[in-house]
Amino acid sequence: MKIGLRRKNGREFDNELYHNRNLVETMFSVLKKKYGEEVKAKRYHKQSKKVKLKQLVHNLDRYVKVVFIIQTRISTEPINQLILSINFLMSVNI
């Protein structure tokens, strides 16, 4: 009796690895929206370099934003939570 290819592969299929694909697809989407979909290089080696450069610029951009938020101590709470905490602090008698 023949076992279907999908059923056979399903037993050997790595679900954890497959779910990482979602993260990779999201990252590609972010890079495409920020820096454009096209890579204007003809050779594979140069295309690869340009994609890596886009990744590096994106990582540096995120790093700078995180450091800025930490250094300036900007709250990432929703504005209504921030207003409630400010009102609470103003109402406390010291």
**CB neighbours of 50 closer than 8 A, spacing ≥ 6?**
39, 40, 41
d(CA 36, CA 18): 26
Any idea where the domains of the chain sit in the sequence? 5-91
Structure confidence by residue, pLDDT tens digits, 24-58: 898 889 889 988 888 888 999 999 999 899 989 99
CA distance 13 to 7: 10
DSSP 22: H
pTM, full prediction: 0.55
pLDDT band at 68 (very low <50, low <70, confident <90, very high): confident
